């Protein structure tokens, strides 16, 4: 029964985390299109901060805690597909941390990327999620 609760919790928080990873770069696009010193820009800074604080960071922590507990429960550390999945989750975690840093820079008025570049970055979590699902379901190696 523990396995099923761990799996359910892991999937729930992966969904929350992925939703946040899709939303944040889109928020950045809208933020960058606003006047840097406007009330609208201040609202985007607040939205981005809340998304990170309320959804993204807690979801990330729970994805890792429940995912590692699940991996221990099923003995996944000796399986090749799990190593590939873990590498992709590490990359998504780095992407998450980078997004948080970009949000802080954007809040300071630094606009390092174009809207187009941010829209392209918005595809990263979707591609990673697709590959992770294939690894977990198909277990190709």
Residues flagged as binding site = 10, 85
Q: Is the CB of residue 123 less than 8 Å from the CB of residue 20?
A: no
DSSP classification of residue 141: -
Which of 46, 47, 43, 42 is closest to 20 using CA atoms? 47
Give binding residues for heme as ranges. Answer: 10, 85
d(Cα 137, Cα 139) in Å, to the nearest integer?
6
């Amino acid at each position: 029964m523990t396995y099923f609760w761990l799996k359910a919790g892991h999937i729930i928080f992966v969904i929350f985390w992925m939703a946040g990873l899709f939303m944040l770069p889109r928020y950045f696009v809208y933020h960058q299109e606003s006047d840097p010193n406007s009330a609208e820009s201040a609202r985007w800074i607040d939205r981005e901060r809340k998304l990170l604080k309320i959804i993204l960071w807690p979801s990330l922590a729970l994805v890792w805690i429940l995912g590692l507990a699940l991996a221990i429960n099923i003995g996944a550390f000796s399986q090749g597909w799990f190593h590939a999945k873990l590498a992709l989750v590490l990359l998504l975690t780095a992407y998450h941390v980078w997004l948080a840093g970009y949000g802080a820079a954007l809040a300071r008025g630094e606009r390092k990327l174009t809207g187009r570049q941010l829209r392209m970055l918005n595809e990263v979590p979707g591609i990673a999620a697709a590959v992770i699902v294939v690894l977990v379901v198909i277990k190709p190696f």
